[in-house]
A and B are shown apart, each in its own frame.
Chain A
Amino acid sequence: QLQLQESGPGLERPSETLSLTCTVSGASISSKNFYWGWIRQPPGKGLEWIGSIYYSGTTYYNPSLQSRVTISVDTSKNQFSLRLTSVTVADTAVYYCVRRMAVTGTKLYYFDYWGQGTLVTVSS
């Protein structure tokens, strides 16, 4: 059974860099037809897609965050990571790592597996 597990600090100071890692178990991160990514949810609010990465290293970012975000993959550890620089209180959220899966034989995708989420609070 595929599992995704986020890890990283739960508290960041304003202007610091948020770093989270997602460890994938039960499947290879190098599998084709899958993208790996991050979605966040501020407390009591909706979902915001942050970005995705393919095992080859190709990345896609939300333009609203693009200047501050980096997603990377470590196939040897079956992990991928999120780095968000210059955080502010507005970056306080539950951060989910996700797998985006292609429907066989199509170019249709959906987020089929989610981590449990990790709350990151930005506060001085």
Chain B
Amino acid sequence: AIQMTQSPSSLSASVGDRVTITCRASQGIRNDLGWYQQKPGKAPKVLIYAASSLLSGVPSRFSGSGSGTDFTLTISSLQPEDSATYYCQQDSNYPHTFGGGTKVEIK
């Protein structure tokens, strides 16, 4: 199975900060990567698919980039409502696998 490694596992940042989360795949996955946001007690919600395509309705401060094995999720200006855990997920091969998650807290 393809291993997805996210870093950092947690971070604390201030409102307005630029936040970057990285995700590395154990083998190349082209651009078959999604980013999901999960708030406590809720189901995850997709933010980005195909590594860099923003879902309709997702704020433009979220962006994704990367291809192959290295990917990033960037929040350009952190907002209080962005406090959540973020997961990357590869859809290139079965079994579909998720990164371990990055918990984003607001200072």
Cβ of B49 and Cβ of A47 under 8 Å apart? no
A63-B1, A96-B43, A103-B49 given as contacts; is B91 within 8 A of A110 (CB)?
Answer: yes
Flag whether B96 is at the interface (Cβ < 8 A).
Answer: yes
A46 sits at the interface (CB 8 A): yes
Is B87 touching A114 in the complex (CB atoms < 8 A)?
Answer: no
A48 to B1, CA, bound (A): 12
Given A108-B50, A110-B91, A46:B101 Cβ within 8 A: yes
Q: Take A63-B1, A108-B32 as given contacts and tell me if A48 and B46 are in contact as well, using a CB distance cutoff of 8 Å.
A: no
B9 to chain A, nearest CB (A): 10
Interchain CB contact under 8 A, A108 and B98? no
A103 B44 Cβ-Cβ under 8 A: no
Q: Which of B42, B45, B49 is A108 in contact with, Cβ under 8 Å? A: B49
B80-95: which have CB < 8 Å to A? 87, 89, 91, 94-95
Q: Which residue of B has the minimal Cβ distance to A48?
A: B98
What is the minimal beta-carbon distance from B16 to any residue of chain A, in angstroms? 29
The residue from A62, A103, A111, A116 contacting B95, defined by CB atoms under 8 A apart: A62
| Least CB separation from A62: chain B residue | B95
In the bound complex, CA of A64 to CA of B1 (Å): 10
A46 to chain B, nearest CB (A): 5
Q: Which residues of A contact B97 (CB under 8 A)?
A: 49
Q: Roughly how many angstroms separate A60 CA and B36 CA in the complex, as a whole number?
A: 22
Contacts of A114 in B (CB 8 A): 43-45
User: Which B-chain residue is minimally distant from A96 (CB atoms)?
Assistant: B43
B66 within 8 A of A: no
Of A46, A62, A106, the most chain B CB neighbours within 10 A belong to A46
Chain A residue, CB-CB nearest to B90: A49
From residue 100 to 114 of chain A, which have CB atoms closer than 8 A to chain B?
100, 103, 106, 108-112, 114
The residues of B that contact A61 with a CB separation of less than 8 Å are: 95
B95 touches A64 (CB 8 A): yes
Give A79 Cβ to nearest chain B Cβ, in Å: 18
Task: Provide the bound-state CA to CA distance between A13 and B99, in Å.
Answer: 30
Interface residue from A46, A52, A60, A109 paired with B87 (Cβ < 8 Å): A46
Residues A108 and B43 in contact, CB atoms below 8 Å apart: no
